[in-house]
Amino acid sequence: MTESHLFLDTIPTVLYGAPSDRVFLYIHGQGGAKEEAARFAAIAERFGYRTLAVDLPEHGARRDGKKLLPWIVIPELRTLLAYAKEHFRTVSLRTVSIGTWFSLLAFSGEPIDICLFSSPLLDMEDMILTLMHLAGVSEERLRAEGEIPTAFGQTLSWEYLTYVRQHPVRGLSKKTAILYATEDETIRRATVDRFTEANRADLCLYPGGEHWLHTPEEVAFMEAWEMRMLRAYEK
């Protein structure tokens, strides 16, 4: 499988696959990197797609000091989409965890063909409020102090929470599939069910798995799901 490394502005990306007029944008999750897209790209290529992956701020080859904040990430993803729309006839999405939430914000209203989301973060407000509860931090205190570090490594931010509330997300495509592990310790099942119902998405459950799907068994299940959905959406 061919791969080409390129920079969009200062953003490191990699393009996988044989020439095609269709592309998947691969947006990784927390702790990921663009190179993890190679596994999915090998599958997508069989269905006639290239895969364009990006390093989010503070990840992979990024050395520019930018932070993983939505008001920084969203413009970068829109730059990625602009490139994709210029060079490809159709644009689809393969996202992981927080990469899903960033993508839902960045690509709202855009002509996205297929969406494949695994362990998707779909409700950031709920996530932040849960962290606040665990840390024993009230909204009043967070508003007054602005930022509050927590014992579990996350810094709570009033600016971030305000941004989230001002930027709700919605689905992007009628062809949306979600892979969710039933023991996901990060994403609530009720959140996934609400999004699935509201957007008529196809939900696949991995029994017993946690948020990070990475074991050989989990990866094999994920690849079977990816191929099954690509076949279904080709019809």
The label of the residue with tokens 């970068």 reads: 76
Nearest to 53 by CA among 20, 23, 86: 23
Alpha-carbon distance of 20 to 93, in angstroms, equals 16
pLDDT tops 90 at residue 44: yes
For residue 133, give both structure tokens. Answer: 């509860």
Beta-carbon neighbour count of residue 125 at 10 Å? 13
Q: What is the pLDDT at residue 70?
A: 98
State pLDDT tens for residues 196-224: 999 999 999 999 999 999 999 999 999 99
Instruction: Give the integer Cα–Cα distance in Å for 77 and 81.
Output: 6
CB 93 within 8 A of CB 115: yes
Contacts of 81 (CB under 8 A, 6+ apart): 25, 91, 106, 107, 110
* Domain parsing of the chain, residue ranges: 3-122+170-228, 123-168
Closest by CA to 169, choosing from 100, 111, 90, is: 100
Confidence of residue 154 (pLDDT cuts 50, 70, 90): confident
The string of DSSP codes covering 87-153 is H-SEEEEEEETHHHHHHHHHTTTS-EEEEEEES----HHHHHHHHHHHHT--HHHHHHHSEEE-TTS
> Residue 235: is its pLDDT beyond 80?
no
Does the pLDDT value for residue 153 go beyond 90?
Answer: no
- Output helix, strand, coil percentages for the chain, rounded to the nearest 5: 40, 25, 35
pTM of the prediction?
Answer: 0.96
pLDDT tens, position by position, 70-124: 999 999 999 999 999 999 999 999 999 999 999 999 999 999 999 999 999 999 9
* Statement: residue 33 has pLDDT above 90: yes
CATH architecture group of domain 3-122+170-228: 3-Layer(aba) Sandwich (3.40)
